């Protein structure tokens, strides 16, 4: 194997640049040529593919986002789109791929391997932390830090006015960000898609807490569990909360990568190149119990991530 490709796809996440840098540096160290594919599967279809040099990945560890850019491509889901993408890889002589992205992007990698025989290793990059087989995906730690400092700020103004806030965080159908944010910011309630909730119970608890002298109530809502406006209306039926809504939105994805995400990206990038050099394919790099592991795509995709029960228990006891 002489030539490999690297790309980022789906929602960008802090730490992707550390992973790209590690793939390029480790690839060059091992005598490979490393090609960067721009804007995920869209760039693979359009042939936006170029050779990367050592200096192309200088000074990027501290940058959020991805220097290779990212995209979502509907065309890649079609046979015609896939054929164009594979043709472009072949024309560049690319024999193996490292795909950095979330579950959709890694599903695409599995497809390239199973249907077209292209060797692929996936690196989990998504703030949602919704991939089975890794305790953390790239970007989760940074996103949590952004969420934490944002909620700390909201806490200050909420306490001053004796207000209730509903704060919506990302995560698609996974409540991980919401639950961990709830624990580390001392939120008063968390609503996530995986666990049923009773809005009347939450409303009554808020009323009682105000009576006991509490100066604010913070409810963290995971985006997959409903709309903040609806929750505000439902809460208003329980009592006169005059709740304010803050949707944290894309700032959650745009933070400066933390040391943890830079380290994770570096370790996973190297593990991915080493796996390809050993002739391996169809695997995702994972972080389990503090070590980097390789997890079979079949295992990743046949299991559903569940929010860690012990974290949910912790939350219950702290509220
Ligand atoms: P993420 O990787 O962050 O989960 P998406 O789910 O949007 O983001 O997926 C990113 C891209 O991966 C999609 O735009 C598409 O090009 C590709 N992809 C997703 N699912 C599939 C699939 N089932 N088959 C082929 N390609 C897919
Ligand atoms: O998958 C990452 C994520 O940020 C989700 O948390 C969110 O639902 C989605 O991407 C937002 O996507 P877009 O960037 O297309 O608005």
Distance of CA 164 from the midpoint of ligand 1 (Å): 37
* 314: in domain: no
How would you write the pLDDT of the chain (319 residues) with one tens digit per residue?
A: 999 999 999 999 999 999 999 999 999 999 999 999 999 999 999 999 999 999 999 999 999 999 999 999 999 999 999 999 999 999 999 999 999 999 999 999 999 999 999 999 999 999 999 999 999 999 999 999 999 999 999 999 999 999 999 999 999 999 999 999 999 999 999 999 999 999 999 999 999 999 999 999 999 999 999 999 999 999 999 988 889 999 999 999 999 999 999 999 999 999 999 999 999 999 999 999 999 999 999 999 999 888 877 788 887 788 7
Range of the domain at 212: 141-254
Which of the listed residues 170, 174, 225, 248 should we mutate to test ligand 2's pocket, taking the one with most ligand atoms within 8 A of CB? 170
Residue whose Cα lies nearest atom 9 of ligand 1: it is 104
Shared domain for 130 and 154, answered yes or no, is no
How remote is the CA of residue 226 from the centroid of ligand 2, in Å? 15
Domain of 77, CATH number, reads: 3.40.50.450
Render the burial of 261-270: b for 16+ CB within 10 Å, e for the rest: bbebbbbbbb
With a 6 A CB cut-off, is 107 part of the ligand 1 pocket?
yes
pLDDT recorded at residue 240: 84
- Residue 36 is assigned to a structural domain of this protein: yes
Query: For position 306, what pLDDT does the model report?
Result: 81
Structural contact between residues 152 and 316, judged by C-beta atoms closer than 8 angstroms? no
Predicted pLDDT of residue 241:
85
Q: Tell how strand 291-296 and strand 164-169 pair up.
A: unpaired
Is 13 within a domain?
A: yes
Residue 153's pLDDT is: 98
pLDDT of the residue at 154: 98
Residues 70 and 115 in one domain: yes
Q: CB under 8 Å to 109, separation ≥6 — which residues?
A: 97, 99, 120, 121, 122, 297
For 228, other C-beta atoms within 10 Å of its C-beta total 20
Considering its fold, how many domains does the chain have in total? 2
Q: Is 41 in the pocket of ligand 1 (CB under 6 A)?
A: yes
> 257: closest CA among 127, 131, 104, 105?
127
Gap from CA of 105 to ligand 2 centroid (Å): 13
Q: Which ligand is nearest to the CA of 223?
A: 2
Active site residues per annotation:
128
Q: Mark whether 285 and 213 lie in a shared domain.
A: no
């Amino acid at each position: 194997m002489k030539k490999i490709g690297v790309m980022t796809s789906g929602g960008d996440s802090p730490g992707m640049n550390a992973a790209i840098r590690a793939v390029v540096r480790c690839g060059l160290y091992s005598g490979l040529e490393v090609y960067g594919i721009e804007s995920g599967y869209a760039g693979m279809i359009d042939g936006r593919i170029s050779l990367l040099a050592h200096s192309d990945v200088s000074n990027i560890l501290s940058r959020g986002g991805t220097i290779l850019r990212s995209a979502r491509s509907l065309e890649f889901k079609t046979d015609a789109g896939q054929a164009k993408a594979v043709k472009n890889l072949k024309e560049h002589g690319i024999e193996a791929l490292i795909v950095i992205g979330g579950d959709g992007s890694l599903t695409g990698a599995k497809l390239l391997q199973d249907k077209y025989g292209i060797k692929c290793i996936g690196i989990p990059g998504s703030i949602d932390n919704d991939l089975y087989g890794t305790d953390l995906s790239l970007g989760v730690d940074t996103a949590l830090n952004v969420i934490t400092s944002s909620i700390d700020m909201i806490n200050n103004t909420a306490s001053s006015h004796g207000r209730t806030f509903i704060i919506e965080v990302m995560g698609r159908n996974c409540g991980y960000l919401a639950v961990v944010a709830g624990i580390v910011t001392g939120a008063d309630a968390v609503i996530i898609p995986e666990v049923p909730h009773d809005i009347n119970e939450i409303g009554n608890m808020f009323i009682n807490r105000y009576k006991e002298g509490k100066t604010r109530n913070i409810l963290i809502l995971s985006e997959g569990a409903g709309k903040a406006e609806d929750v505000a209306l439902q809460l208003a039926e329980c009592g006169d909360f005059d709740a304010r809504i803050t949707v944290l939105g894309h700032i959650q994805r745009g933070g400066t990568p933390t040391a943890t995400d830079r380290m994770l990206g570096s370790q996973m990038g190297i593990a991915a190149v080493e796996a390809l050099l050993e002739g391996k394919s169809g695997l995702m790099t994972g972080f389990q119990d503090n070590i980097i592991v390789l997890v079979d795509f079949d295992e990743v995709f046949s299991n559903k991530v569940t929010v860690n029960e012990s974290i949910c228990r912790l939350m219950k006891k702290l509220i």
